[in-house]
A = this chain, B = another copy of it.
Amino acid sequence: MADLLDETGDLELAGPAATQSGAPLYRQLAAKLRAEIESGSRGSNELLPSERDIAVHYAMSRDTVRKAVRLLEEQGLLYSEQGRGTFVAPSSVREMSRFLDSFSQDTEKRGGVAGQTIVLVEQLPANLAIAGVLKIEPRQTVTRVKRIRTIDGAPVGIHDTYLVLPLGAAFTAEDLVRSGSLYRLLATRFGLNAAEGLESLSSVAANAEDASQLGVAIGAPLLLCERITLSERRQPMEYCEMKYVSSYRYTTRVNKFSQK
């Protein structure tokens, strides 16, 4: 039996349905398992103790253990097979996980220093195209933010985003600089939180403006990523057009989702 069950298992148990310690029990367990896995104390494809054993050890329900395992499975850290057990996913799988991170978070994960140059922040009436994707009335006011993103000082991408803010809400380039992150600014100031995004990727040749801003030749291949970000209520809150230089890699994990 594995190390996991030799430990004390003090999860700061908070009693049935009483999550005094902040996070729900199953998330606490998931965090503990995640830490163990990421610390490297568990090798690739290593067999975990059974759900029943973990439950007994931590004095919790098997259902709670299953929730934790589910969570880590969705994140690509574990995988289960009926009749065999639950295993640690190979590190190559774990390393490439992608979420709806902001550019900053995404870059930090890769070990780079993210920076940005704000080109413009303006309010303007939406044209037909923008209104269409954002599901709003044409000529309704939207906020446009155009930035050049840098990694370790070198320009790697152009972000051009159109935001739907609450009526009358607005901010300036100074606000954005002070906040540091656009997503943080939206969350703290307007209560706007991104729930999920729809992305479309293709390639495009750099035009004259792109070329000068990114320091590449006109006609150079760029990765074009368009995103519609949805709020928690599934209302489009942002349309973003991102162009990246050829060296920038965008990684994603696609799950097989079988109807069985």
Contact = CB atoms under 8 A, between A and B. Distances in A.
Interface in A179-234: 194-205, 219-224, 228, 230, 232-234
A57 interface: no
A110 to B, nearest CB: 12
Of A79, A201, A228, most buried by chain B (CB within 10 Å of CB) is A201
A194 to B, nearest CB: 6
B201 A201 contact: yes
Contacts of A197: 253-254, 256
A256 B204 contact: no
Contacts of A199: 251-254
Given A79-B195, A195-B79, A254 B201 contact: no
Contacts of A45: 233-234
B219 A219 contact: yes
Contacts of A52: none
Given A27-B260, A196-B76, A222-B221, A201 B252 contact: yes
A162 interface: no
Interface string A93-132: 1001011100000000000000000000000000000000
The size class of the interface chain A forms with chain B is 35 or more
Contacts of A194: 256
Contacts of A98: 254
Given A194-B256, A234-B45, A249 B99 contact: no
B228 A203 contact: no
A41 interface: no
22 contacts: A45-B233, A79-B233, A89-B234, A90-B235, A92-B198, A96-B200, A98-B254, A99-B254, A99-B255, A100-B255, A194-B256, A198-B254, A200-B249, A201-B223, A201-B249, A203-B204, A203-B222, A203-B246, A204-B221, A204-B246, A205-B246, A223-B223
